[in-house]
């Protein structure tokens, strides 16, 4: 898809898995509020970005911030928090990602 945002990180595959999270269901990338750039995970950001993470403030949760690596759909933070799979292609998202939401979002 041509309008799909670029995802940068360490060993990123076409469905946004990376060197750190590479199970079948690790198919989301998260836009980081600090730089507006999509990364597969916080560890990729730490290795590649060269700056401190800034968390998404709660009042901006309506903006697109999560990319489905399977189909390229972008979800808002609110949509992502309310679902366990992609609303566009039904790909299952790793529920484990939600255990460290505080690395990305002010929750």
Among the listed ranges 18-26, 55-63, 77-85, 98-106, the one in contact with Zn ion (CB under 5 A) is 18-26
H-helix segments, the chain: 42-48, 77-81
CB-neighbour burial class of residue 66 (10 A; exposed 0-12, middle 13-18, buried 19+):
buried
Among 25, 49, 55, 101, binds Zn ion (CB under 5 A): 49
Confirm if 34 and 51 have CB atoms less than 8 A apart: yes
Q: Is 73 in the site for Zn ion (CB under 5 A)?
A: yes
Q: Which residues would be at the binding site for Zn ion (CB under 5 A)? A: 9, 18, 20, 32, 34-35, 40-41, 43-44, 49, 68, 70-71, 73, 86, 88-89, 91
């Amino acid at each position: 898809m041509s309008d799909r945002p670029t995802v940068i990180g360490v060993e990123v595959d076409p469905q946004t898995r990376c060197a750190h999270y590479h199970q079948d269901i690790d198919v989301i990338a998260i836009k980081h509020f600090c730089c507006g750039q999509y990364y597969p995970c916080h560890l990729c950001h730490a290795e590649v970005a060269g700056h401190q993470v800034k968390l998404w403030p709660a009042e901006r949760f309506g903006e697109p911030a999560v990319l489905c690596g399977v189909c390229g759909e972008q979800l808002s933070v609110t949509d992502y928090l309310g679902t366990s799979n992609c609303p566009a292609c039904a790909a299952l998202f790793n529920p484990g990602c939600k255990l460290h939401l505080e690395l990305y979002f002010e929750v």
